Every structure is written in structure tokens, then in C-alpha cells.
A and B are shown apart, each in its own frame.
Chain A
């Protein structure tokens, strides 16, 4: 049972993309050898900013709502577990439904596996593997008091808007205090509304021949 006073905080702005969490995740005993954390690039063509994506452990788990095999369960401490092996049919409904893109279907062994907050560790009060190794503490596991002291300018938010769906999660995302007072939720799909940027590449350096005046 994960203690109620311990929470998982994600601060994407602190992520430096070092992949330490990805490597540490493979070491976890609940999903040996497979990394369940997604280290996503926000906009790779324009920025090196990365975001670690772990399971948000929703209060209304969409993955479990859409599971036709009744395989995804949530334990009493609010942790959404990986699919029950005898039930999972590897249909991939959860993969399509999850607003955060967390579950993964392993076709070779016909099972869905997802981040379970390192349940063998967090259920006894230890930090998940990723939170133990994160050098910039973009992934933080502790009490609300601790995070308030550490990040006085940020506020944890656990409400997300995904189209018409409002999602409340166990995992909290740190947002700037000024933004959080205006919109106390994060719009997951807001990036989809942005106008696509012109990605045409003009090689101006080549157009003006830099070797024009070089004697051969």
C-alpha cells in the first residue's frame, strides 16, 4: 500500500533528457528488463527539451474504462496496475485510449505493460526507480511539504483536460504558480490546435556559395 502522504511530482521544465530514468526503469522488479517510462521530445526540430512521461494513475482510468477484458485494475492506494496477465488479450484499446500515451502492448508476449509506479518499491514507501536517479529532480517522489519548500514558485496540478474529458490524477505536474492560478488544469491536447509551422528548409548558406572566392 503506497502511503497516502507520498506523491509523485513531475516537473517537465527541469528535465535535461539524460535518460537516467529510462535506464533505471529497466531495473525495476515489477517489469524486469523493460523500460516503462517514455522520454519524449516536445518539439524536436526546434528544441532539445524533453519530458518524462510516467503513468499519471488517473482517478478515472481511461485505460481501465475501455478494457474489454476487465484486465486493468486499480489498487486501493490509487495505483493503476499493469494488465492482469490471465485476462489481457493484447487488443491495444488502452494504448489508443490513454490520454498520456502510457500503456504499451508487447505483441511477442501478448500483454499490456505500463508504469505501475514501481509498485514493489512505492508500496513499501520507497521512491520509484526513476525518481531515485533523476539528477535534476524533474521526477520527485515525496510529500507535499517537501515540494512546497523545494519549488516555491511552482504549484502541483493534477487536473487535465483531454478534449471533453476531465482527468484527475494521482501523479502531480508542477506548473508555474502564475499560470496555475489562471487555469488550474493542463490541456493535454492544446498543442494539437497550434498552426503547423513552416518546416521548409532553405539552405541559404549553399545558395550564397561560401567558396566563391576560393582559389582552387
Chain B
């Protein structure tokens, strides 16, 4: 069978395990190993042109397994640097966001009631921040007011404040929240009630924000 140009494979360096040369690898003179092509790049493009004349995408999507598995140190460093850079940018963005939120002027707030309207242990219901977002304001002591979203965190039933027991009670599934902190004391609710930030200016009580908590 004709060799050379007829069979491009015949031009490959047969340095491993050819008859008569077994075991020569690494012990024979270097001149016997004159590699004509890269031993790891044996697939021949359909147009038979050399690797240099091939389009660049062939280098990116090699057919040969060793080439496909190979990761250049430069590519690895590129990946590491760019990924680290992306993380840094992300952190900067988070920092900027939190700074921006803190910088935004605190809400004027929504007037709920006057201090004089509530006796100690009394509660009133109000809408905050939007209409139909029911919240409950409780006067715990003479100086201490607490307000929570009235939606139970379990299945959104309305919670009922019981200041004499120091709890907020959800009658649907016997959920119990602590009156002073809003945390779950018993029952199925998974999270504390969202707390409404209060601001007492003079004799008026204002709601200034909603503080959602996960634990």
C-alpha cells in the first residue's frame, strides 16, 4: 500500500510500541524520536491543510482528546482573575446598594394614632405601608409601644394580640408569637412577624418602616 502522501497517518511518529522498538521510549537517542507532528494532535482536518492554516475555531474545539482536556496556564489564570474580578464587582455593588438605602432619607412615616388614644394593654389596627396591609399596634407599658404586621407568617391569618398574656395569637393553627419581639413561641409559623418601626414624635405615633426578619 502506498505511503507518504496517500496515508497521512504513515507520517506520524510511531515512537510507542512499534515492533522492534518496544521499550525504547526514553532510552533511545533523541534523533530517533523526531516527531513530525504533535503526538497529541493526530486528527487530520478534512482539507488536509496544516494546523497553522486552519481556522482559529479548530483550536478552540479540537477533536483530539488530549487537546480537548488541556487547559493552558494562561487560560486558567484568565478564568481565575476574571472570576475574582466578578466577585469584587458584586461585593462593591452590594456595598453601594446598602449605602444607598441607608442614605435615602428616612420615611416621613404615617401617623397611626396619638399616645393618648391607647390605654396600657390596648391595641389598634392600622394599614401600613399600603392600604389592606393590616398591622396591629399594642401599648405594652406606659412608654413601650410595639407594632407588627397582622399577617401570620404561616398562612396569613390575622393574629390577635393578647397583651395580658404577652403574646400574639393566631387562631387558625394555634400559632403563638411573643408580644415584645414578635418571635415564634409555638405553633407552625416559620418566621417572626414583620415588625413595624415606630417613631413617637411628641404625642403622635408614626410608622416609619417594615422590618422583615427570618429568625
The answer to whether B46 touches A60, judged by C-beta atoms less than 8 angstroms apart, is yes
**Contact of A4 with B17 in the complex, beta carbons under 8 Å:** yes
Which among A62, A78, A165 has the greatest number of chain B C-beta atoms within 10 A? A78
Contact in complex: A74, B1 (CB < 8 Å):
no
The answer to whether B1 and A60 have CB atoms under 8 Å apart is no
B61 and A78 contacting across the interface, CB-CB below 8 Å: no
| A72 at interface by CB-CB < 8 Å | yes
Q: Which residue of A lies closest to B16 (CB)?
A: A4
Contact-residue size bin, chain B (C-beta under 8 Å from the other chain): 20 to 34
CA distance A135 to B19 in the complex (A): 27
Within 8 A of A (CB), among B1-30: 1-2, 6-9, 14, 16-19
Number of contact residues on A: which range applies? 20 to 34
- Are A75 and B7 touching (Cβ within 8 A)? no
Decide: A168 near B40, CB < 8 A? Known: A1-B16, A61-B63, A156-B1: no
Whether A4 contacts B65 by the Cβ 8 Å rule is no
Chain A, 6-25, contact with B by CB distance < 8 Å: what is the 0/1 string? 00000000000000000000
B118 interface hit (Cβ, 8 Å): no
Residue pair B43, A184 in contact (C-beta under 8 Å): no
Asked if A159 meets B6 with Cβ closer than 8 Å, knowing A61-B63, A74-B65, A76-B64, the reply is: yes
A33 contacts the other chain (CB 8 A): no
Contact A143 B42, CB 8 Å, known A168-B7, A168-B8, A184-B6: no
Q: Which of A72, A145, A155, A170 contacts B1 (CB 8 A)?
A: A155
B44 touches A59 (CB 8 A): yes
Return the CB mask of B29-70 against A: 1 if under 8 Å, else 0: 000000000011011111000000000000001011110100
Instruction: List residues of chain A with CB within 8 A of the CB of B61.
Output: 70
Q: What are the interface flags for A43-73 relative to B under an 8 Å C-beta threshold, 1 for contact and 0 otherwise?
A: 0000000000000000111101100001011
The reply to whether A74 and B64 contact each other, CB–CB distance below 8 Å, is yes
Q: Does A158 contact B (CB under 8 A)?
A: yes
- CB atoms of A73 and B64 under 8 A apart: yes
Q: Is A113 an interface residue (CB 8 A)?
A: no
Using a CB-CB cutoff of 8 Å, which residues 147-185 of chain A contact chain B? 155-159, 165, 168, 170, 180, 184
Q: Are B43 and A64 in contact (CB under 8 A)?
A: yes
Complex interface: chain B residues within 8 A of A75 (CB): 64-66
In chain A, residues 115-171, which have Cβ atoms closer than 8 Å to a Cβ of chain B?
Answer: 143, 145, 155-159, 165, 168, 170
The answer to whether A5 has its CB under 8 Å from any CB of chain B is yes
Contact A74 to B19, CB < 8 A, known contacts A155-B1, A156-B1: no
Residues of B with C-beta under 8 A to A70:
61, 68
List chain A residues, Cβ under 8 A from B7: 158-159, 168
Option from B18, B19, B40, B45 in Cβ contact (under 8 Å) with A60: B45
> Which of A1, A74, A157, A180 is the most central at the interface, judged by chain B CB atoms within 10 Å of its CB?
A74
Would B8 and A184 count as touching, CB distance under 8 A? Answer: no
> 7 A-B pairs, CB-CB below 8 angstroms?
A1-B16, A3-B17, A5-B19, A76-B39, A143-B19, A145-B19, A158-B1
Query: Residues of B at under 8 Å CB distance from A?
Result: 1-2, 6-9, 14, 16-19, 39-40, 42-46, 61, 63-66, 68
4 further contact pairs, Cβ within 8 A, besides A59-B44, A76-B64: A64-B63, A73-B63, A78-B9, A168-B9
